[in-house]
Chains A and B, each alone.
Chain A
Amino acid sequence: MPMTITEKILAKSAGKKSVTPGENVWLNVDVLMTHDVCGPPTVQIWKREFGEKAEIWDKNKLVIFPDHYIFTKNTHANRNVSILREFADQYNLPNYYDVGTDRYKGVCHIALAEEAYNIPGTVLFGTDSHTCTSGAFGMFSTGVGNTDAAFILGTGKIWEKVPESMKFTFNGKLPPYLTAKDLILHILGDITTDGATYRAMEFDGEAVYALPMEERMTLTNMAIEAGGMSGIIAADEVTEAFLKQRTTKSYEIFRSDADAKYFSTYTYNVEKLEPTVAKPHSPDNRDIVRNVQGTKLTKCYIGSCTGGKMFDFMQAAKILINNKVKVPTFVVPASTDIAAQLEVETYKGISLKQILQDAGCVIAQSSCAACLGGPADTIGRAVDKDVVISTTNRNFPGRMGSKQSEVYLASPLTVAASAVTGVITDPRDFI
């Protein structure tokens, strides 16, 4: 029977020869990931349900990255990190990345890639909706809540409905003024925020396979914004080169059969697309930058699992070099590795950190920070009637803090160009 990559991976995980969309299966989980917001209630449910002598199904498969509310004086938020620390101590967990130590990583989805937990052909669940990011490595990954995570923590298993797949093929050569963010925002405008609900979004085509891993992760990251269960890109030599630098783990590469069945297919020529934004207050409220250029801004933000990777800062630096920002602009490297790399990587002989600082950006410590608002003292948080342009993933009412604020989502190129002018600006004005 012909199958999609997602069906093949789920069949393997369920111990079956084949699976069919709509079928409920019990999966064997390869990695469970959690963080400071959902980890503590997950542990509490696990103890309540399995008792004080509860056992973790496999300590090596549990990964905990505190990342959400880290650099805050909020005592409740700090308590959550303490709960994780005590849990890691008590059970002697090998994969806990504690705040305030050299092991601290930052945003979980980026750290999963850096620390080589993303392995082609495997199944990863995480207590975060953007867990779909890991699908860029040709694996099945999706977000779950605390109860499901607690169930996995005790059993290593979870039920899932096999999703139908939607295929998005990008042909052509990506122009220098576009990034993966423009592509996914374009898709969102076409299929809306529930266009992929309960489905897998499979990305394909020469323009996708020409992208570095970081950009592929931007595509799969925002599958959830269309309601997708997962986003996936089959592994290729780019994936293998990324893995080779980080791990000796063996893996199996799956690809969709040529005659696999899809719920729907979409084909785009990237050379015909334009720099794109999502206007307030929904990621599917798509427009081209040209139509909203001149919109006055009060804040710019470059960060998060979606838009806080090295590639994103390199794009921003290309525009920010020898320029000054006109509005407060916050730069939040997604991980501590990226923060360190900003000092090493250069553009035109100047380190990216220097370029960002010289332009007047505020560089913050690695965490989820203001992408999701967070506690009142979170750096870069939207206040009052802020009008923000951001490389992050969501702009629902109140997402970045203030309920009165307005958030535009865009590529790092568009955000950097807008930071320099103080109004929404097409990056082609600078490139």
Chain B
Amino acid sequence: MDKKISGFAYVLGNNIDTDQIIPAEHLVYSMSDEEESKKYGQFALSSVPKKEAGLPHGGIPFVDEGKNTSLYNIIIAGANFGCGSSREHAPYAINKAGCNVVIAESYARIFYRNAVDGGFLVPYECEQKLNDKIHTGDKLEIDFERNLLIDLSDHREFKLKPLGDVLPIIEAGGLFEYARKTGMIKTV
């Protein structure tokens, strides 16, 4: 895990469910075939209603038409991010689009587990509501050691909740890597 990352914000509202993150009709693509799995990046967040896509103005697709990756690599969202189905394709799709960090007010349980155990995303929780303070396209920096989000455009700093119990799994890179490190399973 890097100590810091920087990039551009993509801002969303509350209750972004897994059907908005990756619509069910796209769950048929292979996740192991390198070329085919790019489709998950292509369709990431493709079912978010237009006016809520890229707040505050909306109408900004996460991934541009015909592309497989996003210009935005840090998602700022409201409460209950990832609610709905158990599809691991959801955090996977966001990861395939090139985004590795989500900062939300809260998460649905299965999405949170999948993000951590699959090693797809760092699911930070913010200490205060951020999706009304940060705009889509803002340049941001995340300091993982200090659990801090910095808006580089005006140098505002926002505290993030420490990752707690799941930090060792995130640092290992996922559940299997963690289990190998701790001797629970053998290295292949």
Contacts and interface: CB of A to CB of B under 8 A. Distances in A.
Interface string A99-126: 0000000000000000000000000001
B49 A403 contact: yes
A145 to B, nearest CB: 3
B117 A151 contact: yes
Contacts, number: 135
A68 B26 CA distance: 13
A197 to B, nearest CB: 6
Interface in B63-84: 79-80, 83-84
Given A50-B188, A375-B25, A396-B84, A143 B106 contact: no
A397 B47 contact: yes
B31 interface: yes
B28 A74 contact: yes
A69 B28 contact: yes
Interface in B38-90: 47-49, 79-80, 83-89
Given A147-B88, A148-B113, A372-B24, A49 B83 contact: no
B151 interface: no
Interface size class of B (residues with CB under 8 A): 35 or more
Interface in B115-138: 117-119
B19 interface: yes
B179 interface: yes
B27 interface: yes
Nearest to B186: A50
Contacts of A155: 179, 184-185
A273 interface: no
A141 to B, nearest CB: 12
A51 B84 contact: no
B146 interface: no
A131 B87 CA distance: 12
A198 B109 contact: yes
Interface stretch (A37-45, A261-269, A415-423): A37-45
Interface residues of A, number: 52
A40 B37 CA distance: 14
A38 B19 CA distance: 15
Contacts of B88: 38, 41, 145-147
B23 interface: yes
Interface string B148-188: 00000000000000000100000000111001000011001
B147 interface: no
A143 B86 contact: yes
Interface string A127-151: 1110100000000000111111011
Interface string A286-330: 000000000000000000000000000000000000000000000
Nearest to B89: A41
B113 A374 contact: no
A227 interface: yes
A372 B49 contact: no
B100 interface: no
Contact of B109 (A44, A150, A227): A227
Contact of A373 (B20, B24, B79, B87): B24
Nearest to A281: B49
A193 interface: yes
Contacts of B95: none
A399 interface: yes
A38 B87 contact: yes
B29 to A, nearest CB: 6
B31 A41 contact: yes
Interface in A368-388: 372-376
A140 to B, nearest CB: 14
Nearest to A376: B25
A155 B117 CA distance: 15
| For the complex of A and B, 3 pairs with smallest distance between CB atoms | A145-B88, A76-B28, A145-B114
17 contacts: A41-B89, A44-B31, A44-B32, A74-B28, A129-B110, A131-B86, A145-B114, A146-B88, A146-B118, A151-B175, A161-B165, A197-B108, A227-B109, A373-B24, A396-B15, A397-B19, A399-B17
Given A76-B28, A128-B85, 7 more contacts: A37-B87, A128-B86, A145-B118, A161-B165, A197-B107, A396-B15, A396-B20
